[in-house]
Structure 1
């Protein structure tokens, strides 16, 4: 079997996660976090729509990690993001981390807004 090494170029993959934290590019982020190919840092959570709307034109899809379990995001949040041209894919935060890394390795225009796991 042939294995292929994954390359992220200069983008920042998610290295790990656990209760209350995400590790990106060897930095630990505590609480809700926003991860983009060019940056990673704190995010204000589901009420912080402005930070997500600032991604319009830079990403095509936002992976919305809803915590330990999948949940539906507020309808207004989803509608406003889609009106700005950003597709929204809600899932559990662990699934969002894995999906982000896979799509990032393919060079996709994505970001992950992540709620912590408890």
Structure 2
């Protein structure tokens, strides 16, 4: 992985294995640090839930990759608008695809954040 970004080794059973360590529940990875994320479903996704991404800004995060659970869905308008206003791009997909994409993009050295809803 580029820099010190954690790798996503596995997902499922309500959590993730990041660089060998199990994390229960959803995770938010910003500036190569994973933290618990209180978003368990799309309805929980708000600009406030992405505050660490917005605070990092576009110099540290060129875009956020959202894994929205088992199905792909459109993130809430308030989230899309907050990221756009901050100059941070947005990519969204189901969590399994986002987990795989995260590993590819961090290996390329991309400056991204990831918000992944556990499945």
Q: C-alpha displacement at 1:102, in angstroms?
A: 0.3
Whole-Å separation in 2 of the counterparts to 1:41 and 1:25: 13
- What's the CA shift for 1:13? 1.3
TM-score by length of 2: 0.84
Alpha-carbon deviation of 1:37? Answer: 5.2
52 and 93 in structure 1: CA distance in 2 versus 1, 3 angstrom threshold: same
Over 4 Å off, 4+ runs: none
Greater radius of gyration (CA): 1
Deviations 1:70-108 (A, max 9, x none): 111101111101110111111000111111100111101
| Aligned-pair CA distance for 1:18 | 0.7
Once superposed, what is the RMSD of the aligned Cα atoms?
1.5
Q: Which runs of 5+ in 1 are unaligned?
A: 1-6
SS, match of residue 15 in structure 1: strand
Q: Which residue of 2 aligns with 1:34?
A: 28
Cα distance in structure 1, aligned partners of 2:3 and 2:82:
31
Q: Determine which structure has the larger helix proportion and give its number.
A: 2
